[in-house]
């Protein structure tokens, strides 16, 4: 599995959503060695929990995603922002199909959001985890009944996309 440089801070919190962006940014700032240091890049990898909570309302997720991007831009006005697409759920059934339909709708919105703003780049993780309309099963944790947590192989693929954004390939 790849490693990022020590200058990369992972401010993830289990269960977080776009609505938690302030808390996540505060956490990142609290662990920075030099809070006056210039932040060059910020990646937002959220949305899976938003989809679960708003499975039939992509507009609510879109509003929250836009607010999260605006929050990052206001905190780090000179930073380049990477916005990850939301990965699909693994599995079958109406519930999973609805979640993945909402995911696609939100991802389409995220792509448009990034095209409108040159400071925000789309990091397309969805198409790594979905091929021919189906989740790529080996990239998901086989012990996860929710169908959202990824395997070590999935993490490696995710890291390649993030590394490309950070320019560390």
Residue 66: per-residue pLDDT: 97
- Segment 154-167 shows an average pLDDT of 91
- Tell if the pTM clears 0.85, that is, is over it: yes
Q: CB under 8 Å to 105, separation ≥6 — which residues? A: 58
pLDDT at 33 over 90: no
**Nearest to 92, CA basis, from 52, 158, 153, 137:** 137
- Segment 101-112 shows an average pLDDT of 96
Is 8 in a helix, a strand, or coil? Answer: coil
Q: Does residue 13 contact residue 30 with C-beta atoms inside 8 Å?
A: no
- Compute the distance between CA of residue 167 and CA of residue 161 in angstroms, rounded to an integer: 10
pLDDT in tens, 21-31: 999 998 888 88
Instruction: Return the higher-pLDDT residue of 151 and 147.
Output: 151
Is 164 in a helix, a strand, or coil? Answer: helix
- Segment 111-133 shows an average pLDDT of 95
pLDDT at 5 over 80: no
Phi and psi based region of residue 15 (left: phi greater than 0; alpha: psi -120 to 50; beta: remaining): left
When pLDDT is cut at 50, 70 and 90, the band that residue 35 belongs to is: low
């Amino acid at each position: 599995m790849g490693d990022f440089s020590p200058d990369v801070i992972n401010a993830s919190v289990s269960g977080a959503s776009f609505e938690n962006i302030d808390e996540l940014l505060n956490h990142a700032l609290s662990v920075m060695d030099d809070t006056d240091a210039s932040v060059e890049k910020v990646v937002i990898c959220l949305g899976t929990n938003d989809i679960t909570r708003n499975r039939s309302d992509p507009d609510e997720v879109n509003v929250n995603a836009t607010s999260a991007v605006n929050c990052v831009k206001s905190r780090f006005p000179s930073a380049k922002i990477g916005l990850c697409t939301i990965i699909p759920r693994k599995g079958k059934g109406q519930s999973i199909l609805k979640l993945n339909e909402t995911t696609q709708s939100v991802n389409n919105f995220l792509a448009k959001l990034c095209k409108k703003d040159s400071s925000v780049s789309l990091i397309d993780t969805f198409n790594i985890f979905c091929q021919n309309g189906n989740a790529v099963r080996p990239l998901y944790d086989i012990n996860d009944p929710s169908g959202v947590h990824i395997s070590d192989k999935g993490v490696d693929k995710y890291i390649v996309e993030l590394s490309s954004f950070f320019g560390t390939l």
